[in-house]
Amino acid sequence: MAGCGARTERALAAVLPPVGSHPAQLHEAMRYAVLGGGKRVRPLLVHAAGESLGASAAALDCAACAVELIHSYSLVHDDLPCMDDDVLRRGRPTTHVVYGEALAMLVGDALQPLAFEAVLAAAAHGVAPAAVLAMAAELAQAAGSRGMAGGQAIDLQAVGGGLGLEALEDMHRRKTGAMLRASVRLGAGCAGLVAGTDPRWQALERYADAIGLAFQVVDDILDVEGDAASLGKTAGKDAANNKPTYVSLMGLEPARQFAARLREQAWAALLPLGPAACRLGELADLIVLRKS
């Protein structure tokens, strides 16, 4: 998995505009926002899902960059003063602290189309045009108003409390779940597998459901347990903002048990895929057992 992380880092560095290319400051800020940090969970999911179905690594690089660029843009915008107003991310000053608010907004605005360029490039690596179209549409839906951006809008309105458990799940299914699911789906797309009744697709869907939810439950647990040093970002923000979390709604120990159950569900979902899906199982472990 370390090899895959290094591979993604190289792929991202290559897909981002080169250092010094015009306009230089924007490009420098884009590289700052994306490179040199992050767990790269979404690229790992793309590669693991694609490898379980025999996709080519070069095509998977395209999809992996696409999901990570969308994720990176969302972090840059989320950290802005008008949103979460965070000054620390991945252990470094946030993009707007370094480059100013206006340029940070443009960094996010420019990373988003770059993500689409990246996914479209899969067509140059053996993925059929129709499958690439389906992948690009999946990326757009996952990033859009019914997916990630929609989840963030619901989150905005949740500050100060007011969401029950069901509404909290709906929010996270959009805010983080949609892009985690898209990562799995794009990996499958690189192997030519698109939405349908194929049992492998159904298995991947159930797996994505479980890890999407687990990811957020663990995030909430870490926000309570962690400290800024290991998280690389400000801890305890959610409680300070009076945002509902799985911990605040369920309690800490039940939230831990819930995460453990979701990990089992993720492994169980992978059974129809056989040993080729082992990396996906390891990723479920990584998501649930991580300490940051």
* Binding interface with a copy of itself (CB under 8 A): 17, 22-23, 25-27, 30, 73-74, 77, 80-83, 101-103, 105-106, 108-110, 112-114, 116-117, 120, 123, 129-130, 132-133, 136-137, 139-141, 143-146, 149-150, 152-154, 156-157, 170
Q: Which of residues 3 and 160 has its CB atom nearest to a copy of itself in the complex?
A: 160
Neighbours of 22 (CB within 10 A): 8
Do the beta carbons of residue 103 and residue 32 sit within 8 Å?
A: no
The least CB distance from residue 79 to a copy of itself, in Å, is 12
- CA distance linking residue 243 with residue 246, whole number of Å: 10
CB of 49 to a copy of itself, least distance (A): 21
| C-beta separation of 171 from 157 below 8 A | no
Shortest distance, position 171 Cβ to a copy of itself, whole Å? 9
The candidate with the shortest Cα–Cα distance to 186, out of 84, 43, 286, 282, is 43
User: Which C-beta is closer to a copy of itself: that of 101 or that of 264?
Assistant: 101
Rank residues 143 and 190 by Cβ distance to a copy of itself and give the closer one.
143
Cα–Cα dist 40/47, whole Å: 11
> Going along 233-287, which residue ranges are E strands?
none
Q: Which is nearer to a copy of itself, 19 or 268 (CB)?
A: 19
Q: What minimum distance in Å lies between the beta carbon of 154 and a copy of itself?
A: 5
Q: Which is closer to a copy of itself, CB of 30 or CB of 55?
A: 30
CA nearest neighbour of 234 among 287, 288, 292, 179 = 292
